[in-house]
Amino acid sequence: MRQLLPDPIDPVDPVALYGADERIDHADRPWLMVNMIASIDGAISVDDRSGGLGGPADRRVFRTLRELPDVILVGASTVRTEGYGPVRLDQDAMARRRARGQSDTPRLVIVSGSLGLDTAAAAPMTDVGARSRRWPR
């Protein structure tokens, strides 16, 4: 994996790069990081799954970004299609999280307009709860 800007670095370690990002604590708002993938023609999935679009470098970035947050926000459709379960991190990633004062794994937050989720599929998750909030349209 290479970093092109602002200064070229080859190879670059995504854990070192993203983990070193300065995230100044603002009491009035959270930090938000977004990770998306798309093909050159704008497709966001192959056979309704995002995994077919990325290569090894993309998966390293994805795993790295999963290690950093307090919560991972996922849409219900993605949860159903991709078969989401609990967030799993390796021992090194959990140790880095503990060193930053975080829990071993981030919480998985699922956004749903209907709460139409298979609760049996959610059984492996250790922290399952539902809250409903409707925003005016």
CATH superfamily name and code, 14-24+32-111: Dihydrofolate Reductase, subunit A (3.40.430.10)
What does the alpha-carbon distance between residue 18 and residue 98 come to, in Å, rounded to a whole number?
17
Mean pLDDT, all residues of the chain: 80
Q: 99 falls in which pLDDT band (50, 70, 90)?
A: very high
Q: 123 falls in which pLDDT band (50, 70, 90)?
A: very low
Q: Residue 1: CB partners within 8 Å, gap ≥ 6? A: 11, 12, 13, 14, 57, 60, 61
Hey, where are the domains in the chain? 14-24+32-111
Model-wide pTM > 0.95: no
- Taking a C-beta distance cutoff of 8 angstroms, is the pair 65, 80 a contact? no
